[in-house]
Amino acid sequence: MVSEVEPANAGVNNVREYDAVVIGAGFAGLYMLHRLRNLGLKVRAFEAGSGPGGTWYWNRYPGARCDVVSMEYSYQFSSELQQEWEWSERYATQPEILRYVNHVADRFDLRRDIQFNTKLLAAHYDEASSRWDLQLNSGEAVSARFCVMATGCLSSANLPRIPGLESFTGVTYHTGHWPHEGVDFTDKTVGLIGTGSSAIQSIPLIAQQARHLTIFQRTASYSIPARNAPLEPTFVREIKQHYDEYRANNWRQPFGVDFRQNETPALKVSDEVRTAEYEARWQEGKLGFLAAFGDILIDKSANETAAEFIREKIRAIVQDPGVAAKLLPRQIVGCKRLCLDTGYYETFNRANVSLVEVSASPITAVTPLGLRSEEQDYEFECLVFATGFDAMTGALDKIDIRGSAGQRLKDKWAAGPRTYLGLASAGFPNLFTISGPGSPSVLSNMLPTIEQHVNWITDCIAYVLAQGAREIDATVPAEDEWVEHVNQVAHTTLYPNCSSWYLGANIPGKARIFMPYIGVPPYVEKCSQVAAKGYAGFAISR
């Protein structure tokens, strides 16, 4: 965090000037760069990693894999790309997704306009010139008319501030910053904190290597078997022959993914019918388990039927009843993100795995040899933090962003992020966020909704330029109305009912505001209407 920096360009003689800069070269940044370059703009992207990929560049932990099927988790802007790329598995692994990202970067010749190993420290808006002055960690200064933040929703790792962390004499890892060369846990004793998606994917593989693995669980998670498998060539051929229809159907779905949403209420059917539907979806292995009935994410009694079905599965899989009891989640299913696993619950049947409930006895310190809870000390050689992210706002908070009149974005968002459509924040002209808070983002299939944002931003910038305008800025009334709407929609569901990262509840001191917008089709419709009305809710100045 650079709070004491001089104005972003101070003392630098050679300020490089661009029409637009893009911060980040993950899926969002790559496509944004492609579109703005094709608009004829002089664009530069800056990326902290040494290669493209964003979340898929950093999250290299064992078992890292997407939880949206690969035929859907891919770009659709290029029909040729869509046809030529061959996914090998139903759910793609991190290495395969990273190969895809690199293929895209090469295929569209994007690397020449990306500066890797470079972080943005500060971005200050200069009202006199209507330009953004940017300061990079390389010492370089850059100026741009438009600034697009493609900094990711889950890119700022959360490392809990446990006293004594520096004293640990073993090796520590965070799933979100995994060593590129991989880690061999063979014969090692390992402690792992967390039981969210990253933990659930990595635990079965770490347990296969480690001499002993101790898992520290604060909240038990619900997980569905992924039933991953190689992709059948006939299935792939069928989708590729009708890819446009396939994508169009997904755009009509609440989360932008084909979850076979059933609108029937869970309690309107007999117990047998309900259990059969849950069983079919458990066997299918998709996050669409929660789409089994129309009211699972709306009505607590309906939700409890789905929750209890999963608990029953856990009791059946885990052999030791005491361990099974600890693994039974109690919160509303789905209000923390549902997980997909390969052998997660089965791993607790291994003799070399133990489970410690830190909800009952919180971790108080890291010691030189391991962890200390209120009850006892635990020793191991390696400590893995699978403790998640400062989601949606964390990456932006780390940059000293100052808009009109020097207002800091971090200050403006202190009581929770305020955006118009998750695309812009009033008082920060010509600055756009891809998958920003207030957009479906993490409650959607990220790839399509990233493309929707990039297309919208590209059209918006083209419009501003065609008008001969100087700047575009969200208006405060439009933003206030949108923030209120996002919140109202969230509260018609069960989502705000547990301490999730959607609410910022995983980060001590972070404001508790439900951040993503729920509902892809109405959101896309709203964005289209805003554009069709000459960017209603934005002020465009000449």
Please give the residue ranges that form the binding site for ligand NAP (CB under 6 A).
Answer: 65-67, 154, 160, 175, 193-199, 201, 216, 218-219, 337, 340, 358, 363, 386-389, 442, 501, 506
Token pair for residue 500?
Answer: 């999730």
DSSP-assigned letter for residue 439 = B
E strands present in 347-500: 353-357, 363-367, 370-373, 377-379, 382-385, 400-402, 431-433, 471-474
Three-state SS string across 120-138, please?
EEEEEEECCCCEEEEEECC
Nearer CB in complex with ligand NAP: 154/527: 154
Min dist. Cβ of residue 505 to ligand NAP (A): 7
Other beta carbons within 10 Å of 508: 8
Query: At its nearest, how many Å lie between ligand NAP and the CB of residue 111?
Result: 26
CB of 67 to ligand NAP, least distance (A): 3
Residue 361: how many other CB atoms lie within 10 Å: 13
- Nearest residue (CB) to ligand NAP, 394 versus 429: 394
Which among 37, 49, 175 has a CA at the least distance from the CA of 115?
49
Cβ neighbours of 38 (radius 10 Å)? 11
Q: Whose Cβ is closer to ligand NAP: residue 76's or residue 217's? A: 217
In the complex, residue closest to ligand NAP by CB: 196
Output DSSP code: residue 396.
H
> With respect to ligand NAP, which residue has the nearer C-beta, 156 or 430?
156
Burial class (CB in 10 A: 0-12, 13-18, 19+), 50: exposed
Of 118 and 219, which CB lies nearer to ligand NAP in the complex structure? 219
Rounded distance between C-alpha atoms, residue 182 and residue 175, angstroms: 11
Quote the least distance from Cβ 149 to ligand NAP, whole Å. 19
DSSP string, 38-98: HTT--EEEE-SSSSS-THHHH---TT-B-SS-TTTSS--S-HHHHHH----BSS-BHHHHH
Cβ nearer to ligand NAP, comparing 250 with 430: 250
Whole-angstrom distance, CA of residue 177 vs CA of residue 106 = 24
> Least distance (Å) from ligand NAP to the CB of residue 154?
5
| Token reading at 343 | 């052998």
Which of 342/458 has CB closer to ligand NAP?
342
Minimum distance from CB of 219 to ligand NAP (Å)?
Answer: 3
Distance CA 255, CA 487 (A): 17
The number of C-alpha atoms within 13 Å of 132 and in the hemisphere containing its C-beta is 31
Nearer to ligand NAP, 44 or 311 (CB): 311
CB of 303 to ligand NAP, least distance (A): 18
Nearer to ligand NAP, 27 or 389 (CB): 389
Work out how close the CB of 158 gets to ligand NAP at its nearest, in angstroms, rounded to a whole number: 6
Which residue, 74 or 197, has its beta carbon nearer to ligand NAP? 197
88 is written with which tokens?
Answer: 């090998």
Q: 9-21 burial string, b = 16+ CB within 10 Å, else e? A: beeeeeebebbbb
Which token pair is 186?
Answer: 């063979």
Tell me how far apart the alpha carbons of residues 410 and 390 are, in angstroms, rounded to a whole number: 14
What is the smallest separation between the CB atom of 391 and ligand NAP, expressed in angstroms?
7
Listed residue (432, 426, 431) closest to 413, CA to CA: 426
Nearer to ligand NAP, 67 or 473 (CB): 67
Of 88, 81, 85, nearest in space to 65 by CA: 88
We find the least distance from the C-beta atom of residue 157 to ligand NAP, in angstroms, to be: 9
CB of residue 203 vs ligand NAP: minimum separation in angstroms?
11
CA distance 85 to 240: 10
Q: CB-wise, 110 or 220, nearer to ligand NAP?
A: 220
> How is residue 331 annotated by DSSP?
S
CB of 490 to ligand NAP, least distance (A): 17
